[in-house]
Each structure stands twice: as C-alpha cells, then as structure tokens.
Structure 1
Amino acid sequence: MTGEWRRAPGGLRPAGTALRAARALAAALALTLALTACQGATGSTGPEKAPDGGPQLADVTPVTDPKALVGGSTALLTDATISTPATPPHPTLPVTLTDMQGTEVTVTDTSRILALDVYGSTTRIVYELGLGANLVGRDASSSFPEVAGLPLVTQSGHDLNAEAILALAPTLIITDTSLGPWDVVLQMRDAGIAVVVVDSERSLANTGSLINEVATAVGLPAEGAALAERVTTQIDAKVAQIAAVAPVAAADKLRIVFLYVRGQAGVYYMFGTDSGADSLVKALGGIDVATEIGWSGMRPVSDEGLISAQPDVVLVMSDGLDSAGGVDGLLESIPALAQTPAGERRRIVDMDDSEILSFGPGTAGVLDALAVALYAPQNHAPQDPS
C-alpha cells in the first residue's frame, strides 16, 4: 500500500491510499470476527476447518489447461509447523530506533511483548525469531495453535482494548496502522510502554523488510536478517517453481480475482491494486483482473466490474465462502459471477482466513498450497515415479 503521510499526535500517520486500504481491510476483518461471534452465540459454528496436509506442488502433476478445470478447490498447507531457533535468542538491549511514523523509540525490555496487526503477521514473526515465550497476548488474526491460548486484546473484531492491554503489563508493543482506535496506541505510549509502529503494507515484496523491522524492535537484528533471507529465498524459489508450471502466454494465464465475502451481512469486496492480493495473484502466475480494470485497494463488488474482469478463478477466504452458503450460495448472491468463466465453471478456490493474506514467514507455504489448488486440484497424493 502506498500513499502520503500526514502529521498526527505521536508522529506520522498514513493518508490517502495506504490509510483507506488499511481501514477497509480492518473494517472488513472486524466484521468477520463479529459475525463469527454471532454464530457461536446461536450455537451454529459451521463445518469444521479442514485439516492441514495437502500435497506439495512438487508432488503433483499440473493440468495442461488450468482454464478448463471445473469445480471448487480448497488450498491446504502441506505443513503448518512453525520453525523456531533451537535455543532462545538473547536480545541486545537497549535499542533506539525510528519507527515507520518517524517516532524515535527506545526499547529496554522485551520480556512481555504484544505484536498486533490486522493480518497476524507480526505475532508470527516474533514467534519465529524465538521469542514466543515472551508474547503475553494476541490480536484476533493471530490464531495459529502455538499462540491460540493467549489472551485477546482486541474486541469487536479488531478494535484495540486499552484495559485488556494494560492488564497484561506489556513492556513492548509492536503494531501498525491497521488496528485502532489510534487513541489507544497513544494511551499506551503515555503509560510509558515502548510502542514501535511498523509498515502497514503487506505484500510479497516487503515481507523481508517487515521481518527486519520487527527484529530490530526486539533487539535481534542479526537473527532478523537471517530469517528475512530464509523467507525471501523460500518465496523466490516458490515463485520460480510456480512459474515453471503456470502458462506462459498471457492469453493462457489464469485470470484471477480475490473477493472478500461475508454473506450474512451482504458484504462483497473485490481486492485490487495495493490490497496485497494483487502481489499474491502475480506470484501465482495469474493475471490480477481487478488491477487490470483499474480497481485500487478494496471496493464493493459491482456487476459491471465483475463482468468486465471476466475472471477464470475466484479466490476467497474459507469462512467467507461458507458464510455465503458455499459455491451455490455465492453464485446466487452475486448473479453477475455466473456471467464469467469462473462462475460458469464454478472455479472458486478458498483458503483459511488466517493464512491466505498473512504475508509473513509462512508465505511460501501459502503460495504452494494455492498453486496446487489452481493447477493440480485433482491430485491428492504423490505421483507414482514409475
């Protein structure tokens, strides 16, 4: 996400595209959590999440014409295991840095960390740096098993709860501008807590720099550089592997659109340029049709826009697809979708809400799972080498 920055209490805040996109995604995901809570209150939890353990791209045979595929697919991670250092690292403190707002922050204690953002990226990074034991709470998007038992400090989806945060007595808060209210962040600074604001953009291009920002904040720059290099190398290798199986000619490439869906509330957004989904689609060897028709950030779906885009595949979050009543419900809710190749062939690819746009250390695995769902959905086991 790009955009201008404006002066605000406590430093600089993003304006324009960056702030609108961050707010739109935060609002959309806040609605996700609110609706999930409502479902739980009525005793309806929906189908159980499919287990991890899908095949790897290296173990399947991609189809020759992915545009001819019919039917939906679910992208499943092959391995959701989170790697951590064999021995806990020792942060070098104090560290003084200038965060993404231009605010100078001195970090003296990392014994009690809160890493908070709408994507769940920063918590995952802190954990993979080896400081998982130092995490004292989590945001709603940080739901991987290793931290799922930590107290939530967000309410109504993704609103920061000042009382819940203060009750955990954090010594360091790492966050970005995707969560609010901003007054809560300023309140934490006024309470004497070190608050480091990192980049709110999430894309494949800046995953390494985000890791380095978080690592610098916790006094582990060398460890962060190593993790960033490993993750970036894995992403680059996975993108190259996908490119080797994806169609080369523009006319043969999958035309892909990412839709954010919450059927109960009639919420349908199409993600375009600077939403993060655009970089995901490009890495998968596809054409981001929302960007092609000039859509920027996240905007409500329009019949005209969807028909103009003519996607071959629709990417969605799994809970979102379920909220619309599955593929049939989605086609009924968005009649214009039936006038696209994706609707005609029912090519809806879904992935777990907390994984598909996480943009962190697990990104290579996300790309692999999505590539299998796009190019080899009929393969569920390694091919016989004979």
Structure 2
Amino acid sequence: MRVPGRPPRARRPLSRRHGPAVLGVAIALLTSACGGGAGGSASAGTAPVPAGERAAVAAQRLAENTVVPLEGDPPAPELPVTVDSSDGRKVTVEDTSRILPLNGGIAEIVFTLGLGDRVVGRDVTATFEEAKDLPLVTRAHDVGAESVLSLHPTVVLADTDTGPSEAIGQIRDAGVPVVVLDPATRLQDVTTRTTRVAEALGVPSAGEALNTRMRKEIADARASVPEGSRPRVAFLYMRGSAAVYLLGGKGSGADSLIEAAGAVDAGVGSGLDKPFTPITSEGLVAAGPDVILMMTKGLDSVGGIEGLVEIPGIAQTPAGMDRRVVDLEDGVLLSFGPRTPLVIDILVDRLHGA
C-alpha cells in the first residue's frame, strides 16, 4: 500500500452479523432474483434485492475465497498482440501458455477471464483458493527474478508498484515480455485494468464480457443503498506490531469504495488530500466518523475492537462510542478486481446498518 461523549452501547461487530439461518434464506432469495447467474445481479425489471440479503451472499462467497470465471468455454487468445506498458514501453506478447501475474488483483482477473490453467506462479497478494498452491515468487512484496525465471513464463503481468526495478529488468533481459499496468486505486480502475489485461493476453472480447458483468453487479449493489443515509466512514490502516496508524484520505482506494457504497469518506470530508496521514486525536475528532472501516488483520493487530478504542481519539468519535467497526479481509478489500462488487454489496449493508 502506498501505504467526550456518550458511553458505548453494547453492540456486536457489524462485520459478523449474519448467522447461518439468515444466510440460507438470503442465498435462496438472491438466487431467485438473479436467475442463478454469477455475482448476484438482479434481473431487469425486478425490485432491488435488500442489502442485507445481498451482503449475506457476498460474505459467503468471500468466505469461500474463490473466483467465478466467465460462463462458457475458456477464451482462445489471438496472438501476437502489441500493447502499451505503463512504464513507457510497447510490449509484444506472442505466447500466453505460461502466464505469471505479479499482483493479486491482476491474478484474479486472469483466472476470472478463464485463463487460470495457464498461470504458473503467484504474488504474495494472490490469496484466493485457485492460486494458493502455485509457486510463490515474491518475498514480502519484492519480486525475485530467479524465482520468476525458474517458472519459464511466456508473459509477466506487473504493475508500477512491482519491484525492485532491477528484478523487472533481469526478467526482460531474459527475453520475457513484461506488461506493466497502472495500480488500481479507484473503483473505475477495475474495468480499465480488466481491459488492459485481456488485451495483453489476446482475449479482448472476454475482457468486455467481464466488464459488462462487473458493471451490472456494482449497479445492482448500489441500487440497495437506503435513501437519506449518508454515514461518515473513516478508513484506518493499522499494523499494531509495527506501530503504523494511518487515516485514509483522498486516493487511499477506500475512498472510492466508500463513495460507491453511498457513504462519505470522513478523511476526505475533513480535508485530507493525501492517501494516508498519521492518526492524531485531533484528526480523528475532526473527521467525526460514524463508522470505522479496516482490514481484518489490521483490526486484529491492535487487539480487536476493544483494543482499537484504546487508541487516543478513537473513543471520542461517534464510531468509537458505538463500537461501529466494519472489517474485511486484507486480500479483498482493496484488490480492485472481479470480487470488488461483493465488497460493495457488504459495504452497502454494513456501513448503513443500525
């Protein structure tokens, strides 16, 4: 990642509100409404599926930690193709039989396009089930050129944050095409990146189909936003063991998701024009969040909700007073990939929930 008030009410964490019975009913209703299609999109002409039911289905799908490929046979790449790389190069791809995505969100796109059986390795951020047994070619977030080349990839997909640059250079010097993409930090980047990945792999029509599916899923999720509800939501990035405590602002990535879910990013609303700013009591009080949004590992690293409210300033916010905290798994929340519509489904429900 570029990386005094009322006593608290007794409240269960919003991120764990749905029990098995509710989930079973939700799945049945949502499946009926969407005609059994992937992604939980409501059919044209039907009333929007309630946010709670959509969120229950989305939570189950995220718990399964799998991707949903496009329907039909896998696409057949039409090669060679020459595409623009975000580091200023033009790259020609002649063979996609051994694909190596060096970013978890990009890997999700490749698998969802139907090309997962061609993927030969993974980055540490590719945490979904289909990729978990693939060889790991990164240490922390740094790419090892030797590990990459040992897998004999015919094309490598990276983003501008992938490094070190020396490793990328070694891979290119070995004759492997490396297509670099811009990082995805906004909701609209999901479809842009999907288009670019599909073009680089010679399957542009599959990219168009996936984008059509995702746009409909996101639109259906946003249709469930309750009228008149505009909670202020603060995204906190924390790693307690490393003493990292940051408040998200403009460009954090979470700001785009919060807006899509019909809420207001509290950091942006308080004037933060950088993606992340060190947390201060004054900054938190100025942000005044009704809800706090975090990654699950970040929340765990500070001792859960009870540990979180011990951090100076948290307990003085409306969210801290009410223990209104929503957390989502690290590898999904800011992945900006094909599972992002599920994230919007969950946020629409949990950010607006009582």
Q: TM-score, normalised by structure 2?
A: 0.82
1:352 lines up with 2:329 in the alignment: yes
Residue 97 (structure 1) aligned with residue 79 (structure 2):
no
Of 319, 322, 327, the residue aligned with 2:300 is 322
Question: 1 CA distance for matches of 2:335 and 2:107?
Answer: 11
Question: Which amino acid in the other structure matches residue 88 of structure 1?
Answer: P
RMSD: 2.5
Deviation at 1:51, TM superposition (A): 11
**Equivalent in the alignment of 1:186:** 169
SS at 2:127 equivalent: coil
Structure 2 residue ranges without an equivalent (≥5): 4-15, 31-47
Distance apart, 1:79 and its partner CA? 2.1
Cα distance between partner residues in 2 of 1:147 and 1:201: 20
CA displacement at 1:205 relative to structure 2: 1.5
- In structure 1, what is the Cα distance between the partners aligned to 2:214 and 2:208? 10
Please state if 1:171 is matched with 2:151.
no
Match for residue 278 of structure 2?
Answer: 300
Q: Which amino acid aligns with 2:286?
A: S
- Inter-partner Cα distance in structure 2 for 1:233 and 1:75: 16
1:151 aligns with 2:128: no
* SS, match of residue 197 in structure 1: strand
**Residues 370 and 75 (structure 1 numbering): CA distance in 2 closer, same or farther, change over 3 Å?**
farther
Secondary structure at the aligned position of 1:233 is classed as: helix
Q: Could you give the per-residue CA deviations for residues 210-233 of structure 1, whole angstroms, max 9, x where no partner exists?
A: 100000010001111111121122
Paired with 1:174 and 1:163, the residues of 2 have a C-alpha distance of 16
Deviates more, 1:175-184 or 1:143-152: 175-184
Q: 1:79 aligns with which of 57, 61, 64?
A: 61
What's the offset of the Cα at 1:318?
0.9
SS state at 1:77 partner: helix
Length, aligned pairs only: 312
Give SS of 1:79's match: helix
Cα distance in 1, alignment partners of residues 58 and 149 from structure 2: 37
Q: 2:317 aligned to 340, 349, 363, which one?
A: 340
1:88–1:60 CA distance, 2 compared to 1 (3 A):
closer
What is the CA deviation profile of residues 191-219 of structure 1, one whole-angstrom value per residue up to 9, with x for unaligned ones?
11000011213211121111000000100
Cα distance in 1 for partners of 2:58, 2:351 equals 12
TM-score by length of 1: 0.76
SS at match of 1:58: coil
User: Any stretches of 5+ residues in structure 1 without a counterpart?
Assistant: 1-21, 26-48, 63-72, 378-386
- 2:280 partner letter: S
C-alpha contact 2:86 2:181 (8 A) present in aligned 1: yes
Alignment partner, residue 235 of structure 1: 218
Q: One-letter code of the match for 1:138? A: R
Q: 1:217 to 1:60 in 2, by over 3 A?
A: closer
Return closer, same or farther for 1:182/1:299 CA change in 2, 3 Å cut-off: farther
CA-CA distance at 1:76 after TM superposition: 6.1
Post-superposition offset of 1:360: 1.1
Q: What amino acid does structure 2 have at the position aligned with 1:210?
A: R
Q: Deviations over 1:298-338 (max 9, x none)?
A: 22212221111010100001111111111011111x22111
Using the alignment, how far apart are the partners of 1:215 and 1:75 within structure 2? 28
Other structure's SS at 2:297 match: helix
SS at match of 2:163: coil
The one-letter code sitting in structure 1 at the alignment partner of 2:216 is T
State the distance in 2 between where 1:97 and 1:60 align: 40
- SS where residue 307 of structure 2 aligns? helix
1:1-386 to 2 correspondences below 5 Å: 24-25=2-3, 58-59=49-50, 77-80=59-62, 81-84=66-69, 85-117=71-103, 120-155=104-139, 157-242=140-225, 245=226, 247-248=227-228, 253-295=230-272, 296-332=274-310, 334-376=311-353
Q: Percent identity?
A: 42
What is the CA-CA distance between 1:372 and the residue it aligns to? 2.3
Aligned equivalents of 2:175, 2:243: Cα separation in 1: 42
